Amino acid sequence: MNHRMFRWLLNLYPPYLGAGIRVRRVSPDFREILVEMPLRFFNRNYVGTHFGGSLYAMVDPFYMLMLIKNLGPDYLVWDKAATIDFVKPGKGTVRAHFQLQEKVLQEIKQRVKDGGKFLPTFTVEVQDRQGEVVARVEKVLYVRKKK
């Protein structure tokens, strides 16, 4: 599946449609993804800011998906753990920018080449239009070579 179809399918994913989450960009090599979410009546909390569950949903699958696409079918990739730090109330449109560097891919391949597992950690910031951090999410993934 190419990057355009991948983006289109993600934007049709019901939890993303329901939360107003939009995947704005997927690079052809699946190493960069940009996601946005405007503040709407259906994704705001009681005090009028972004619902924390929607903030987390907008960042949840992307590092896992990026690794699956870049490592290929010989690797098993799962989400293992996540933490989210709500830094300030999210108002207006928020965005998250995911990047996967070649050196990280090489490190993962090196660490699992003998059949072991590796638990890489990735951090992504959710920012408002002014570039201020609204939330910081740390994702721990599980990676190993398939047997």
Q: What pLDDT is recorded for position 132? A: 97
CA 124 – CA 34 distance, rounded (Å): 11
Would you say the pTM of this structure is higher than 0.85? yes
Whole-number percent of the chain with pLDDT over 70: 100
Residue 47 pLDDT > 90, yes or no? yes
Tokens representing 95 are 């965005």
Place of tokens 């989400």: 79
Burial label, 77 (beta-carbon count in 10 A; 0-12, 13-18, 19+): buried
Residue 70 pLDDT exceeds 90: yes
Q: Is the pLDDT of residue 1 over 90?
A: no
Q: Are 51 and 43 in contact (CB under 8 A)?
A: yes
Average pLDDT of the residues in 21-42: 97
